[in-house]
């Protein structure tokens, strides 16, 4: 691997707002899913289930459930990252037996799977957009049980030429970093 390969990959991943009609091949979808599958999870519960969506009508319906996002064109592929309550041994979506605090960890696990998927997609030259759907609507469209959750849906495809792109900026590290405790300075 070349120097800074991973950081270059991370920086090249961005939200795509306009997709062309080119389809994502099944072999590439499998690689994206494999990267998601190998994500870390709370106590290795792997509380996720991946739902592949290619149907244009269903994709349009799911895009309408987005809590945010003004996408100009729908992606040709979506993967819903579902959190299965049955894979969480604790109460509701908790990954800890008998403890409520693991609920957050379970959602984080699903988020890490989505991140791994978007990074693998970028490695394969595929663009992505991450959306957070309105639960009631997304669960109905995807026929997900009421006790389960669909916290993240990712659209995959290829960016249209001359597509809209927001300016990508990041806060300076010195403004978002502390040492030893919040506000602590590096001495």
In this predicted model, what pLDDT tens digit does every residue of 61-102 receive, in sequence order?
A: 999 998 775 667 899 999 999 998 877 766 666 665 555 555
Dihedral, CA of residue 24, residue 26, residue 30 and residue 31, to nearest 10: -50
Question: Percentage of the chain with pLDDT > 70?
Answer: 89
Name the most confidently modeled range: 16-20, 48-52, 88-92, 170-174: 48-52
- Report the pLDDT averaged over residues 45-57: 95
φ, ψ dihedrals at 66, nearest 5°:
-60, 135
pLDDT in tens, 113-130: 999 999 999 999 999 999
Answer whether residue 3 shows pLDDT above 90: no
- pLDDT at position 23 is 98
Sheet containing strand 48-53, edge to edge, reads 48-53, 77-83, 149-157, 127-131
- pLDDT at position 104 is 74
Answer whether residue 25 shows pLDDT above 90: yes
Cβ neighbours of residue 82 closer than 8 Å, sequence gap 6 or more: 48, 49, 50, 51, 110, 142, 144, 148, 149, 150
- pLDDT at position 178 is 92
- pLDDT at position 163 is 79
- pLDDT at position 165 is 78
pLDDT confidence band for 45 (50 / 70 / 90): confident
- Among the residue ranges 20-34, 45-59, 107-121, 156-170, the one predicted with the least confidence is 156-170
End-to-end C-alpha distance for the chain, whole angstroms? 34
φ, ψ dihedrals at 182, nearest 5°:
-60, 130
User: How far apart are the C-alpha atoms of 47 and 84, rounded to whole Å?
Assistant: 6
* 96 vs 54, higher pLDDT: 54
DSSP per residue over 74-141, as a string? --SEEEEEEE-GGG--SSTT-SSTT-STHHHHHHHHHHHHHHHHHHHHHHTT-EEEEE-B-HHHHHHH
Answer whether residue 37 shows pLDDT above 80: yes
- pLDDT at position 2 is 61
For the domain spanning 18-159, the CATH number is: 3.40.109.10
The DSSP symbol for 33 reads H
């Amino acid at each position: 691997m070349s120097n800074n390969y991973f950081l270059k990959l991370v920086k090249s991943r961005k939200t795509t707002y306009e997709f062309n009609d080119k389809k994502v091949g099944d072999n590439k979808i499998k690689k994206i899913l494999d990267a998601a599958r190998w994500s870390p999870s709370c106590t290795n519960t792997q509380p996720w289930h991946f739902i592949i969506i290619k149907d244009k009508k269903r994709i349009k319906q799911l895009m309408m459930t987005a809590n945010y996002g003004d996408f100009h064109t729908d992606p040709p592929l979506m993967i819903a990252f579902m959190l299965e309550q049955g894979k969480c041994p604790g109460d509701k979506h908790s990954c800890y037996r008998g403890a409520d605090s693991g609920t957050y960890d379970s959602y984080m696990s699903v988020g890490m799977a989505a991140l791994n998927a978007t990074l693998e997609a970028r490695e394969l030259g595929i663009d992505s957009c991450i959306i957070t759907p309105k639960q009631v609507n997304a669960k109905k469209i995807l026929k997900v049980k009421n006790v389960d959750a669909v916290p993240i849906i990712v659209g995959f495809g290829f960016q249209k030429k001359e597509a809209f792109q927001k300016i990508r900026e990041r806060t300076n590290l010195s403004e978002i970093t502390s040492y030893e405790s919040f506000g602590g300075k590096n001495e």
